[in-house]
Structure 1
């Protein structure tokens, strides 16, 4: 099985927009109600039975089972029969909202995420159709259950043999979009190490440094538009909360945020394709992005969007047939790539690597990228041949590869 997600912009009518808005609100209420039920159950079990705080916790009998997706889905089916507004929404769409809440708790338990939060009015931005009818695409329209035909801009054709598994309707500042999950019944072979290897090191002064000596600038989309964003937010603060002028000013802020995100994402995709043009193997650092987002340079790290780039790069490598692997990121800037001698820590102000042992001098970020390349080649069973101009070529391993 092979799946891809295609995104198209919808062109709904005014009546369809009203339906979309109502469905988002109904899904938000179902999400908040299910979350409150789970939260009350957890609170009733978190205090002593002889010292329960009545204002803070509800007394729920001990034999009441923990709310799960299956139990809440059964309760939703019964409750939906008594509420006319919920009957207007497709039943599977409401069930997908409960699944989203279940996944939020799984992410909290297994992924270290925070406790799920209630969603305010207007903060629910999407709903999902897990199943579509037969041949839902009819020209430039898509048939959504209980809504009907909705026009969309078919910016890219759907490949033959694809089955549409689900559709997600998304609301953004620039309009409504539909994300189609397509599935092909084909087996994709695993990509093996081959071709020219390169290592990359992400940074702030330069977004990416490549082991072959190339440096890519950091676009800093948020920093460039921060002044404009500040002015728009000041205009929002001067408007009466909830008024029409407040909504118009808030819409301008949302559109600017979307523009910043689009500029950053487009740069990441272009850079990923550029890197794939050069190599058959790409190695990157396995960074602790959560810790970097809490440091003194958190604002610059989040503006660069390293996490999004390191998610896009493997996808691009998969489509282009390039092998991708992450390697250990420890001490990449403290080891000389020419003699493999540990040179010690460098302050951030020191941007040049100069080895006291062999005299190898090069940009600090490029040296770190070369260490990443060496570790990647060692991980795939290759050794490194060092040339006078500082390039690295992977050759089949004839002896044990260096370890770090």
Structure 2
């Protein structure tokens, strides 16, 4: 069973665009009301039993149970009967909004995320149709419940035999988009380690350095557009808050941000496919991306977007039949790939690796990529062979077979 996500550009009529915007607003209100209900319940139980703070806490009956997805769905049914605006929205769309709120609390408990926040006007960007009818896509149109046929630009065909499970309508600065989730009942082959291996090290001076000596400079997408972004944001600050000119200026800022993200994503895809051309195995570092984004160079790390690159590289490897695996990033820049001796920390200005034990000298990032390659080959059961030109090659370990 294979799950796919296809994204298409919607071309709704002006009346349909108004309906989309109204549904987003109703979803935002349902989300905020459900969050307020849960927050009040938590606040009523955040103080001592014998010292309740009337000034800062809410008093809720001790018998009241914690609001859950099921209980809030029951309250939603009653609210739809009394509030006409909610009744116009498809019920499953509103239920998915409550499920989204439930996932936010689960992430807070299990993944240590922060407490969910209220969404201001315009902050809700998408809503989901969890169920669609039979064959909802026909002749470049998508049939949505309670909305009808919506035209879209079908840039690629839907695979034969794939079932459309749900549709997410997304509002962006460049227009409306739909993300179709497909379920395709085909066997998914698992890629096995084979052919030539490649270790990849990421950085800020060089975006990537590979174990065979390839160095790719980092593209500064956000920093290059920062001056223009500053001027556009100044234009927003000079407009009257909430006016039509203020909204137009905000849209220009949003379009620039979307352009920067699209350029970065396109470059990541092209680089990923280039790496997959001549490799059968690719190994990368398992970095603490959250910690790096909060460090002194966090702005540059976020501009490089290593997490997105690793995700795209993994997808490109799957498409091209290349084995992909992450390995430990511990001290990759402090170990000599030739002899394995720890050489100590290097300053940021020190760009050359020179081992005092064996005399092996190469670029600092290339040496780190070679260490990543060695760890990756060891993880898949290969030995490492160093050639005369300094190239590392993985040799499979021959296992003895015992005959009964």
Fold shared by both chains (TM-score > 0.5): yes
- Measured after TM superposition, the shift of residue 398 of structure 1 is 5.1
> Quick one: distance in 2 between partners of 1:66 and 1:179?
33
Give runs of aligned pairs for residues 97-116 of structure 1, distance below 5 A.
Answer: 97-116=97-116
Partner of 2:362: 362
> Quick one: distance in 1 between partners of 2:315 and 2:69?
31
- Measured after TM superposition, the shift of residue 392 of structure 1 is 1.3
Segments of 5+ residues of structure 2 without an aligned counterpart are 400-404
> Quick one: distance in 2 between partners of 1:224 and 1:146?
44
Partner of 1:336: 336
Name the SS for the 2:313 alignment partner: helix
Partner of 2:42: 42
Q: Does 1:208 align with 2:173?
A: no
TM-score, normalising length from structure 1?
Answer: 0.97
> Quick one: distance in 2 between partners of 1:25 and 1:251?
18
Name the SS for the 1:383 alignment partner: strand
Q: Does 1:91 align with 2:84?
A: no
> Quick one: distance in 2 between partners of 1:49 and 1:81?
38
> Quick one: distance in 1 between partners of 2:16 and 2:55?
43
Partner of 2:154: 154
Q: Indicate the larger mover: 53-62 or 338-347.
A: 53-62
Segments of 5+ residues of structure 1 without an aligned counterpart are 400-404
Name the SS for the 2:225 alignment partner: helix
Give runs of aligned pairs for residues 162-241 of structure 1, distance below 5 A.
Answer: 162-241=162-241
Partner of 2:68: 68
Partner of 1:55: 55
Q: Does 1:284 align with 2:255?
A: no
> Quick one: distance in 2 between partners of 1:398 and 1:339?
23
- Measured after TM superposition, the shift of residue 49 of structure 1 is 2.6
- Measured after TM superposition, the shift of residue 57 of structure 1 is 1.6
Partner of 2:269: 269
> Quick one: distance in 1 between partners of 2:33 and 2:57?
16
- Measured after TM superposition, the shift of residue 53 of structure 1 is 2.1
The superposition leaves residues 136-192 of structure 1 with CA deviations (integer Å, 9 ceiling, x where unpaired) of 011011001000000100111111111000000000000000000011112212211
Partner of 1:311: 311
The superposition leaves residues 90-120 of structure 1 with CA deviations (integer Å, 9 ceiling, x where unpaired) of 0000010011111111111111211111000
Name the SS for the 1:81 alignment partner: helix
TM-score, normalising length from structure 2?
Answer: 0.97
> Quick one: distance in 2 between partners of 1:216 and 1:334?
21
The superposition leaves residues 378-404 of structure 1 with CA deviations (integer Å, 9 ceiling, x where unpaired) of 0111110111112111111259xxxxx
Partner of 1:402: none
> Quick one: distance in 1 between partners of 2:198 and 2:348?
24
Between the two proteins, the alignment pairs up a number of residues equal to 399
Partner of 2:402: none
> Quick one: distance in 1 between partners of 2:373 and 2:179?
36
Name the SS for the 2:285 alignment partner: strand
Partner of 1:120: 120
Q: Does 1:10 align with 2:14?
A: no
> Quick one: distance in 2 between partners of 1:10 and 1:258?
17
